[in-house]
């Protein structure tokens, strides 16, 4: 611990004389709880050390200036635990706080906005489920699910809630008296991504263990998280600091957004909180962005976890996880589809088909074209084993891609109208930069279904690469007509149109 504290105070640390201690004290960041606590731990008996702990106390009291706690409370109990919690490094052993610590932190945090939510006082999943989304304390709801089988259920939850409270107190200490929502966003970004250095994990890690980087305790312990994991952390802090945020879910992604009716600020939690344009999240087949509520976010944690086990072909586990998500996302059609498919994979055909039948020829609200998986299955164009094949993971190596390609070719000999299989086969050729074969497979898809804008877009590109510009224009115009019918004008199609114009005039 001493070594860590010294590092916190470098490069200013000079040892030995009163003058050097005074110099070091004067160099402390006046808004840094971490530095002042570290300084006190190093020099507890000095005048400056006592000033430092007084200042740390005043920073902590920023959240509740009327907290009825003794002025010198912090020095009287084991401050090392508090300092360790604030200064701990990723993958250090978790810090165990005493009841005295927990009570003190709770008192300091008693005026946080999340304490006004009904969800901050409940202790069971059943109570969470009956709450309206706007009354859910996201941190409490997630931690109840995470620790439901723990022998130390309440204490485990309170330990991690104390971590969140201390984080929010440190953010609050730097905010001006009448902080705006933009002040809060700026300071949360600085704290999470600069001071604490939360990061998106390397692909090699999250691809195998996305669940580890989704659930709140793991994200707090490792300071690494996928989009959902860090977005959850951001939302937990925002709820404490009375910052209203929206939860946005493009396909396969999640981020948070501030929207006051006049200003929209996207907060990309996988890229240090930058504000990308909203159109960046749209695609050819994604025409609008879905907004989620706090209850759905709890379910999405299980949704994310299931994706790992799907890649491992562990469909029994997938079923259990999707079923755990279902009470939180009861009306989510995508969840119905994924649970229905996994029911098929484990032999529960009747249950699977019951969920899939309402999805026949169904177009998700955010999408341009209808989804094809349920439709092709219900029309007899594919069986459960064939659907499993299109989800075969690849590791981007040539051998892996060609292995999947061989499996898809065998599959399509028996199921020639299976659109998901045809498209995945075309993608393998595109990944191998074999445009000629890709064009042939995509044309085959077009003959089965000419109403998929993504396929028409790919056909336009590969036709242009082979200098068949009239065909390229034809497929582009098809894609534009399909997307326009759903009130969508994607940037990718606009870019392709501009590029084609420089090569070949548009045919009349």
Given a contact cutoff of 8 angstroms between Cβ atoms, the answer to whether 347 and 393 are in contact is no
Q: Looking at the chain, how many residues does it have? A: 508
Nearest to 195 by CA among 165, 230, 170, 215: 170
pLDDT tens profile 39-78: 887 888 898 888 888 888 788 776 555 444 444 444 445 5
pLDDT (0 to 100) of residue 120: 98
DSSP characters over 131-164: S-GGG--HHHHHHHHHTTT-TTHHHHHHHHHHHH
Band the pLDDT of 100: cuts 50, 70, 90.
confident
How many CA atoms are closer than 13 Å to the CA of 157, on its beta-carbon side?
A: 22
* Average pLDDT across the chain, whole number: 89
DSSP characters over 310-365: HHTT-HHHHHHHHHHHGGGSTT-HHHHHHHHHHHHHTT-HHHHHHHHGGGTT---T
Q: What are phi and psi of 253, to 5 degrees?
A: -150, 165
Average pLDDT value for residue range 335-349: 98
pLDDT (0 to 100) of residue 53: 82
pLDDT tens profile 435-471: 999 999 999 999 999 999 999 999 999 999 999 999 9
pLDDT (0 to 100) of residue 461: 97
Cα separation of the two ends of the chain: 75
Q: Which residues are 266's β-sheet partners?
A: 257
Domain boundaries, the chain: 2-170
pLDDT (0 to 100) of residue 200: 73
Separation CA 61–CA 173 (nearest Å): 8
pLDDT (0 to 100) of residue 243: 98
Given a contact cutoff of 8 angstroms between Cβ atoms, the answer to whether 382 and 421 are in contact is yes
How many CA atoms are closer than 13 Å to the CA of 275, on its beta-carbon side?
A: 11
Separation CA 198–CA 202 (nearest Å): 12
Nearest to 294 by CA among 328, 336, 325: 328
Nearest to 36 by CA among 46, 45, 48: 48
pLDDT (0 to 100) of residue 2: 46
Q: Is the pLDDT of residue 219 over 60?
A: yes
Identify the DSSP state of 268: B
What tokens appear for 430 in the block? 């595109």
Query: For the ranges 112-116, 206-210, 231-235, which has the lowest average pLDDT?
Result: 206-210
Nearest to 279 by CA among 505, 489, 132: 489
Q: Is the pLDDT of residue 6 over 60?
A: no
pLDDT (0 to 100) of residue 318: 97
């Amino acid at each position: 611990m001493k070594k860590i504290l010294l590092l916190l105070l470098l490069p200013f640390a000079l040892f030995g004389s009163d003058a050097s201690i005074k110099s070091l004290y004067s160099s402390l960041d006046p808004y840094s709880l971490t530095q002042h606590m570290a300084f006190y731990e190093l020099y507890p008996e000095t005048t400056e050390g006592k000033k430092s702990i007084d200042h740390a106390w005043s920073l902590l009291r920023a959240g509740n200036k009327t907290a009825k706690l003794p002025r010198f409370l912090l020095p009287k109990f084991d401050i090392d635990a508090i300092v360790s919690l604030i200064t701990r490094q990723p993958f250090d052993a978790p810090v165990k706080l005493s009841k005295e610590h927990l009570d003190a932190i709770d008192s300091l945090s008693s005026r946080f906005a999340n304490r006004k939510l009904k969800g901050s006082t409940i202790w069971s999943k059943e109570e969470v489920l009956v709450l309206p989304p706007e009354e859910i304390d996201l941190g409490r709801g997630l931690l109840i699910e995470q620790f439901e089988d723990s022998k130390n259920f309440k204490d485990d939850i309170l330990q991690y809630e104390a971590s969140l409270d201390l984080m929010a107190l440190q953010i609050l200490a730097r905010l001006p008296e009448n902080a705006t929502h933009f002040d809060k966003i700026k300071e949360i970004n600085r704290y999470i991504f600069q001071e604490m250095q939360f990061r998106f994990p390397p692909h090699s890690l999250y691809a195998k263990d996305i669940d580890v980087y989704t659930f709140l305790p793991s994200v707090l312990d490792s300071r690494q998280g996928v989009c959902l994991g860090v977005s959850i952390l951001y939302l937990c802090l925002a709820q404490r600091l009375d910052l209203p945020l929206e939860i946005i879910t493009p396909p396969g992604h999640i981020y948070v957004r501030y929207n006051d009716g006049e200003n929209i600020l996207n907060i990309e939690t996988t890229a240090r909180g930058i504000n990308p344009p909203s159109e960046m999240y749209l695609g050819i087949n994604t025409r609008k962005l879905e907004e989620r509520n706090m209850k759905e976010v709890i379910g999405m944690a299980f949704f994310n976890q299931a994706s790992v086990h799907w890649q491992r072909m562990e469909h029994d586990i997938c079923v259990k996880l999707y079923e755990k998500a279902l009470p939180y996302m009861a009306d989510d059609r995508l969840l119905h589809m994924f649970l229905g498919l996994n029911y098929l994979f484990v032999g529960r055909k009747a249950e699977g088909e019951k969920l899939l039948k309402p999805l026949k020829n169904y177009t998700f609200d955010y999408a341009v074209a209808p989804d094809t998986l349920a439709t092709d299955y219900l029309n007899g164009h594919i069986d459960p084993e064939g659907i499993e094949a299109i989800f075969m993971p690849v590791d981007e190596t040539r051998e892996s891609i060609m292995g999947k390609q061989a499996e898809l070719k065998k599959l399509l000999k028996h199921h020639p109208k299976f659109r998901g299989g045809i498209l995945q086969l075309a993608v393998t050729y595109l990944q191998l930069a074999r445009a000629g074969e890709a064009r042939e497979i995509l044309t085959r898809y077009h003959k089965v279904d000419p109403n998929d804008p993504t396929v028409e877009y790919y056909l336009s590109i590969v036709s242009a690469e082979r200098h068949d510009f009239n065909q390229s224009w034809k497929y582009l115009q098809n894609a534009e007509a399909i997307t326009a019918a759903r009130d969508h004008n994607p940037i990718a199609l606009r870019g392709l149109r501009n590029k084609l114009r420089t090569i070949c005039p548009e045919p009349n």
